């Protein structure tokens, strides 16, 4: 993938899983990358492994001041911001039906998975606009939603709601900032082999894999490939879209 020379990218939740794969893919394509995460140790580990073109920063995306600070850090270190991947998220640990769902569970999942994307994106768009320059310069934001941004699953109401919200917010931001030359898209992974999936038994993994027509769950790099494409100049006419990368999950 080309077109990333001189570009600065920020990836949230970059210490592991899909975020780590996105940061590595963007750096391999030539971007300078800021990896942010709640877990600074993990982000630092990945950034050191990538090398001089990567920096790490601790930020909880559910806190707006920390989102402002992570974007300010990226601009301070690398001088501008061109690309952002809003990936940080939490799974749906409380598997209660709606009638039994605790308010704290609801607020936690919405706080990270939806507020977090809004706080991150608002700071990123402000920085992209403030960077000035040519609007055709390839500014791109990719939000990580889920197939749960399009359909529901039992006992997952907070996660399903947050991911549907991410898809709506993506469309709204794409309209609001098309004239600023900022493209905004969402990617909808099927189930992916990351820490979020690690608590499943081998039987559960096989059962979930079988829900995908391709017969397995995804690797993080398979999601990062779509993210990198959407972030690149090759996707110059793509904005406001929702792109499933789901092994056929939504086709059924």
Which residues are catalytically annotated?
Answer: 159
Scanning 56-64, 121-129, 134-142, 169-177 for contacts with ligand NAD by CB under 6 A, the matching segment is 56-64
Asked whether the beta carbons of 153 and 142 are under 8 A apart, the reply is no
Residues 189 to 208 in contact with ligand NAD, rule: CB under 6 A: 189, 191-192, 194-197
Torsion of CA 59, 61, 66, 67, to 10 degrees: 110
Residue number with CB closer to ligand NAD (24 or 138): 24
Is position 18 an interface residue for ligand NAD (rule: CB under 6 A)? yes
Residue number with CB closer to ligand NAD (138 or 147): 147
Residue number with CB closer to ligand NAD (143 or 239): 143
Our measurement of the distance from residue 3's CA atom to the centroid of its chain's CA atoms, rounded to an integer in Å, reads: 20
CB atoms within 10 A of CB 222: 17
Residue number with CB closer to ligand NAD (138 or 244): 244
Tokens of 85: 């991947």
Report which DSSP code applies to 15: T
- Phi then psi for residue 138, to 5 deg, are 90, 45
Is position 56 an interface residue for ligand NAD (rule: CB under 6 A)? no
Residues 69 to 98 in contact with ligand NAD, rule: CB under 6 A: 87-90
Scanning 150-158, 173-181, 186-194, 231-239 for contacts with ligand NAD by CB under 6 A, the matching segment is 186-194
From the CB of 76, what's the least distance to ligand NAD, in Å? 19
Judged by DSSP in three states, 156 sits in coil
Residues 109 to 138 in contact with ligand NAD, rule: CB under 6 A: 112, 116
Is position 17 an interface residue for ligand NAD (rule: CB under 6 A)? yes
Scanning 15-23, 132-140, 178-186, 225-233 for contacts with ligand NAD by CB under 6 A, the matching segment is 15-23
What is the rounded CA–CA span in Å between residue 169 and residue 175? Answer: 10
Judged by DSSP in three states, 8 sits in strand
- 9: enclosing H helix or E strand: strand 8-12
Closest CA to 82 of 145, 31, 120, 37: 31
- 69: enclosing H helix or E strand: helix 64-78
Site of interaction with ligand NAD (CB under 6 A): 12-13, 15-19, 37-39, 42, 59-62, 87-90, 112, 116, 144, 146, 189, 191-192, 194-197
């Amino acid at each position: 993938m080309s077109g990333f020379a001189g570009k600065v990218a920020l990836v949230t939740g970059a210490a592991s899983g899909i975020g780590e794969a996105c940061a590595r893919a963007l750096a391999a394509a030539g971007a300078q990358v800021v990896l942010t995460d709640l877990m600074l140790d993990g982000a630092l580990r990945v950034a050191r492994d990538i090398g001089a073109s990567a920096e790490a920063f601790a930020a909880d995306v559910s806190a707006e001041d920390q989102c402002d600070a992570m974007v300010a850090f990226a601009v301070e270190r690398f001088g501008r911001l061109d690309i952002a991947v809003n990936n940080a998220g939490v799974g749906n640990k409380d598997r209660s039906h709606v009638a039994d769902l605790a308010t704290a569970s609801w607020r936690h999942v919405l706080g990270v998975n939806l507020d977090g994307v809004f706080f991150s994106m608002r700071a990123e768009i402000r920085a992209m606009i403030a960077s000035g320059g040519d609007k055709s310069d390839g500014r791109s934001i990719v939000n990580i939603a889920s197939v749960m941004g399009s359909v529901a699953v039992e006992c997952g109401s907070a996660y399903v709601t947050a991911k549907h919200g991410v898809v709506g917010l993506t469309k709204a931001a794409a309209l609001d900032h098309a004239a600023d030359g900022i493209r905004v898209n969402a990617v909808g992974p099927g189930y992916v082999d990351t820490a979020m999936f690690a608590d499943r038994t081998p039987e559960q993994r096989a059962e979930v894999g079988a829900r995908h027509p391709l017969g397995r769950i995804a690797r993080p790099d398979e999601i990062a490939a779509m993210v990198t494409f959407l972030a690149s100049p090759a996707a110059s006419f793509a904005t406001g879209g929702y792109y499933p990368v789901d092994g056929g999950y939504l086709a059924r």
